[in-house]
Structure 1
Amino acid sequence: MSGYDACKIIEEQGCFSNIREGRIFPYKGRSVGTAFRRQCRELKIADLHFHDLRHEATSRLFEAGFSIEQVALVTGHKDWTMLRRYTHLKPETLHQIRATRMA
């Protein structure tokens, strides 16, 4: 799988945004949401919401073996109760993570 270097992307965005205001990307949340909905309509993708991406990313982080604390740093969840709603872990996945760490 080809991937992106998230740190490099963030560093590059610093040239285009005002990091002092706490934003990495120079877009407002409402603009992103509007663009997302527009693209879903144009691509005829039904029943996909921007928040679904957060759910998917959270699950993937857990599957990759990140701890609760590490995932919470990325997602912004304050406690395990809320974070748990976004996970769909399977026992076999946990066994795979353990086997990988033991190797």
Structure 2
Amino acid sequence: MSPDAGGPPAPDDFASRVVAVVESIPPGHVMTYGSVAAALGSRASRGVGQVMAYAGADLPWWRVVRASGHAPLDHEQRALEMYRVEGTPLLWSRTGAFRVDLERASHRP
């Protein structure tokens, strides 16, 4: 029912659109929070982060990375496992830290 008809508001359109974009990212590829927002015609990268915080467990969350190419904060080890399974291109530092090679792995819907 539409809000104009006096019924309950429609589900959060932004959240459902974020979910659709994240689900479209193919294995071995990533998008940044900002690029997910941009794909929706928005600049709300933090809003994308909020959606991922609530719905991310049911999504390929490791495919959404920070602008630097680093995995989601506090989920680096699990993300690394998924990147290895999917063959996601990675860059390694001398200290053993990694990040996704955005030049090679970025998905552009």
Structure of greater Rg: 1
* TM-score normalised by length of structure 1: 0.38
In terms of fraction of residues, the more helix-rich structure is: 1
In terms of fraction of residues, the more strand-rich structure is: 2
Name the structure, 1 or 2, with higher relative contact order (CA <8 Å, separation 6+): 2
* TM-score normalised by length of structure 2: 0.36
